[in-house]
Amino acid sequence: MKSKDARIRFVDSHLSKGIAFQTQALRDNEEWSQQQLADELGSNQNAVYRLENPNYGKQTLTTLKKVAAVFDVALVVRFVPFSQLVDWVSGTPHVDPGLGPSTLGVPSFQSEIEHGAFEEPSVRKSAEDKQLDAALAKKISGEDAIQDRVEGAPNPVMERESATQGQQARVAIIALVTNLNAGGFPYYGDSSRRARQSNRLDQSSRVGPTW
């Protein structure tokens, strides 16, 4: 069973903590105290303390617009598919199509499941993947030891390792939002797909943020 309650808690936690931590980071960038930010907002220190409390979660749009204006930054509030949130939280690159009909009519979680949005990427390798694989093999064999490295040039081996870690994080988060029961615990059913996914997670390091 895929738990809607677990997904609701996931979104709530992401919003509450994300807004609180960003507000504090913006204030730290300016080297302001909470009282100084309160003065800029025309509020009080206690209100700023609540804004930066990850367990508060009751910031209003009006307050967030004031905070954005004080720090001269943009504020984006919109509905997105769960797959996009998973990519965002796991640090997986995602191409945003921008404002348009496809982004206004956001697909539901069930719709994404039916269209395979959370399936693993195809095993077919792109030209870039093959290039990275070749670079990795070359690195292991030591054939590039005699070549000079241009300082600051991209390292395809490191890029591949980073991409692998990002994919592991994405798989872990997908498991979180799709395989929890109403109590928030992992679901172990008879489905072969869930069994395969569980085995993959057991065999890989669980990389990803904690909430």
Give the pLDDT confidence score for residue 1 in this predicted structure: 35
Contact predicate 194/201, CB 8 Å: no
CB 21 within 8 A of CB 199: no
The yes/no answer on whether domain 4-71 falls in CATH 3.30.70.1150 is no
Altogether, the residues listed in the chain come to a count of: 211
- What pLDDT does 62 receive? 95
Residues 6+ away with beta carbon under 8 Å from 173: 86, 89, 90, 208
**Token representation of residue 123:** 């095993």
Task: Tally the C-alpha atoms within 13 A of residue 185's C-alpha that lie toward its C-beta.
Answer: 3
Note down pLDDT in tens along the chain; length 211 residues: 368 898 999 899 999 999 999 999 999 999 999 999 999 999 999 999 999 999 998 899 999 999 999 999 999 999 999 988 888 888 888 888 888 887 888 899 989 888 888 776 554 455 666 666 677 676 666 655 545 554 455 555 555 566 666 666 667 776 666 554 444 444 444 444 444 444 444 444 444 444 4
For residue 43, the 8-state DSSP code is S
- Residue spans of the domains in the chain: they are 4-71
